[in-house]
């Protein structure tokens, strides 16, 4: 859980996408495709979060949807069965040795300003997981996909337990589709290659 500081409105061309926008997966694909270096040979998705807190389940939920896709070009770490959360993220992440020419996409739920609520944000650079809850964890990713699920000024973080599952599900499926579309296009899979199993 991270705090996203940007205060602009839901402007799609700035990488801020309403979670239920009808072409959200294609907007996510486009934002990712612009960031993946041409020399990339393998993409890693790091799904950060918990499998027991609704509002913090976005990362592992996306990981579950992507874990068996594109096995030659995509590796997923963190899913609903084996989440990467505050209890194990440091120990598990430090074990990973990313090969040269790999690209890492970090995915997490975040806290944001009121006008960013219920948006998906794609940005260049790493994420600082746990920052929104005062935890100090290592920065992760060459780029980040964040689902803004709660207002950053909210004092009652217990509301994370009661976050609307429809919001999480819709964010999750749109992000997973967007990542899958980006991988399919980047590695030149056939256009009819399914983005979900």
Enumerate the β-bridge partners of residue 46: 77, 106
Cα→Cα distances 140→32, 128, 160, Å? 16, 7, 22
Q: Which domains does the chain have, with CATH numbers?
A: 2-186 (3.40.50.1450)
Q: For the chain, give me the number of helices (H) and strands (E)? A: 4, 7
Which residues lie below 8 Å from residue 18, measured CB to CB, with a gap of 6+?
Answer: 10, 12, 24, 118, 119, 120
b/e burial code for range 86-115 (CB count within 10 A of at least 16 → b): beebeebbeeeeeeeebbbbbbbbbbbbee
Enumerate the β-bridge partners of residue 103: 43
* Cβ neighbours, 10 Å, residue 117: 16
What three-state secondary structure class fits 194? coil
pLDDT per residue as tens digits for the range 134-190:
677 889 999 999 999 877 765 555 667 668 889 999 999 999 999 999 999 999 999
Q: Of 90, 28, 96, which Cα lies nearest the Cα of 62?
A: 28
**Residues 130 and 22 sit within 8 Å (Cβ to Cβ):** no
Enumerate the β-bridge partners of residue 42: 102
Q: What is the mean pLDDT of residues 43-66?
A: 94
pLDDT per residue as tens digits for the range 8-42:
344 454 678 999 999 999 999 999 999 999 999 99
């Amino acid at each position: 859980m991270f705090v996203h500081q940007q205060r602009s409105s839901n402007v799609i061309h700035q990488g801020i996408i309403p979670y239920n926008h009808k072409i959200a997966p294609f907007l996510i694909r486009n934002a990712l495709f612009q960031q993946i270096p041409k020399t990339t040979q393998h993409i890693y998705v790091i799904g950060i979060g918990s499998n027991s807190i609704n509002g913090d389940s976005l990362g592992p939920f996306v990981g579950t949807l992507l874990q068996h896709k594109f096995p030659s070009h995509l590796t997923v770490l963190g899913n609903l069965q084996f989440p990467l959360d505050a209890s194990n993220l440091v120990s598990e992440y430090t074990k990973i040795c990313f090969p040269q020419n790999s690209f890492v996409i970090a995915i997490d739920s975040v806290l944001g300003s009121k006008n960013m609520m219920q948006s998906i944000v794609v940005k260049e650079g790493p994420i600082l997981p746990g920052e929104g809850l005062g935890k100090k964890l290592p920065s992760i990713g060459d780029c980040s996909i964040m689902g803004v699920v709660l207002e950053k000024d909210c004092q009652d973080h217990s509301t994370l337990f009661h976050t609307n599952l429809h919001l999480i599900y819709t964010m999750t499926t749109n992000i997973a589709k967007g990542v899958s579309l980006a991988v399919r296009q980047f590695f030149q899979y056939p256009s009819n290659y399914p983005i979900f199993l």
